[in-house]
Structure 1
Amino acid sequence: MSTKIPISIAGNLVANPELTYGESGVPHAKLRVAVNQRIQGPDGSWHDGEPVFHNVSAFRALAENAANSLKKGDPVTVAGELEFRGYEKDGERREARRIVADTIGPDLRFGTAAYQRSSHTAVAGADAQVEAGVQASAAVEVVSAPAYSVSTKNPVVVPPFAPAQGNEMTF
C-alpha cells in the first residue's frame, strides 16, 4: 500500500539528474534535492539548519527536460506527490519515500533563466488538426517560435493571427 501526499519543496540539486529508460521506453529521471532550513540564532544571526534530502522521480518529457536543463548545485523547486512505500529486504520490513514530480523548475530567487519551449511534434500535430487552412501553418509556427531572443535579451513579440471581427464591445 502506498500513501501519496501533495508536496512542494525548494532546495539545491545534490547531483546531476540520472536519466534512464524503462523496459517500455518511458524516460525516468532521478534527482536528489537538499532542503536547508534557515534558523535565526539568539543574537539575530542566521545559519543553515540540518539539511533534509529528498529523492525525486520524474517521468516522460519532464524527465528528459530536467536531465537536459539542470545540473548539480542548481536551486530548484519541485511540486508533486510525496509517496511512501513499504518493502521487505533481507527479511526486514523497510520504508522508502520519494517525491513523484508533476513540475520541476529553476528557483528564480537566486538567478535568471531563459525559457525555451520544446518542439514536440505531437503538440504541433494536434494544433494543426484543429486549425484549418492558413491558420494551421501559423499555429505550428507559434509552437516552434522561441519565447526569448538570446541576441537582444528581450522577449520575442509575435503578432496575433488576425484582429477579432464581429465581437467588438463598446461602452
Structure 2
Amino acid sequence: MTIRTQQSISGFIASDPQLTETDRGEARFYARFGQENFRREDDGTFTKLEPSFHNLVMYRATAERAYERFAKGDSFVAEGYAHEYAYERDGQKVEGEDFVAKKIGHDTARTQYSVDRSSRAGAHEAPSREQSRAFDAPRQRPSTEAPTLGR
C-alpha cells in the first residue's frame, strides 16, 4: 500500500489570528504566516534573507481549535493544500493564494509544551509503551573495515 501524502508548510504565525464565519455559517480561521528564507553560500554558510508572508486559512472545527491554541509568534507545521484565487474589486483583478490547512500543530523543534493525554470520546486507544514496542531497533551493520590491533 502506498503512503498517502499531502502538501505541507512550516512557518510562524505573523498576525493576530481571526475567527470569522463563512456565508454558510462555518467557522473560518485566518492569519498571515511567515517563512524564514536562507541562501546557501559557496563556502557552505547560510545567509538569512527576508521572510516571505502568506495567507493561512482553516475551516470548521479545525478553525475553532486552531483559534483557541495559536497566537501571533507561534511556530507551526500544517498539512493541506495551496488554493489560488482571483476576483474583481473596484474594476481591478485581485489574485492571491491561501494555504488551506486541514491539520495543524505546533512545531516541536521550536516550541516547548505539554500534552494532555486524557481520553476523549472517539479517540484511538493506543497501547502503553510497556504493552507494545513501536518498532524493533535496527541491527548494527557489521563493519566493513578490517579490525586494527594495538590502537
1:16–1:67 Cα contact (<8 Å) kept: no
The percentage of aligned residue pairs carrying the same residue is: 32
State the partner residue of 2:64: 64
SS at match of 2:50: coil
- TM-superposed CA distance for 1:16, in Å, is 2.3
State the partner residue of 1:38: 38
1:60 and 1:79 map into 2 onto residues whose CA distance is 15
- TM-superposed CA distance for 1:119, in Å, is 8.4
- TM-superposed CA distance for 1:66, in Å, is 0.8
Alignment gaps of 5+ in structure 1: 1-5, 128-142, 144-156, 161-171
State the partner residue of 2:142: none
State the partner residue of 2:47: 47
**Structure 1 position 95 matched with structure 2 position 89:** no
State the partner residue of 1:77: 77
SS at match of 2:61: helix
Coordinate RMSD, CA, aligned: 3.2
Alignment of 1:155-170 (within 5 A): none
Alignment of 1:111-130 (within 5 A): 111-116=111-116, 124=121
1:72 and 1:88 map into 2 onto residues whose CA distance is 30
SS at match of 1:61: helix
Change over 3 Å in CA distance of 1:79–1:29 after alignment to 2: same
Cα deviation, 1:18-76, whole Å, max 9, x if unaligned, reads: 11123443111002110112223345543322322110110111111111111111111
* Pairs aligned (count): 126
Higher helix share: 1
TM-score normalized by the length of structure 1: 0.60
Change over 3 Å in CA distance of 1:117–1:96 after alignment to 2: farther
Alignment of 1:18-29 (within 5 A): 18-29=18-29
- What letter is aligned with 1:27? A
2:20 and 2:105 map into 1 onto residues whose CA distance is 20
1:30 and 1:59 map into 2 onto residues whose CA distance is 9
Alignment gaps of 5+ in structure 2: 1-5, 132-151
TM-score normalized by the length of structure 2: 0.67
Change over 3 Å in CA distance of 1:24–1:97 after alignment to 2: same
1:63 and 1:11 map into 2 onto residues whose CA distance is 17
2:117 and 2:21 map into 1 onto residues whose CA distance is 23
- What letter is aligned with 2:101? A
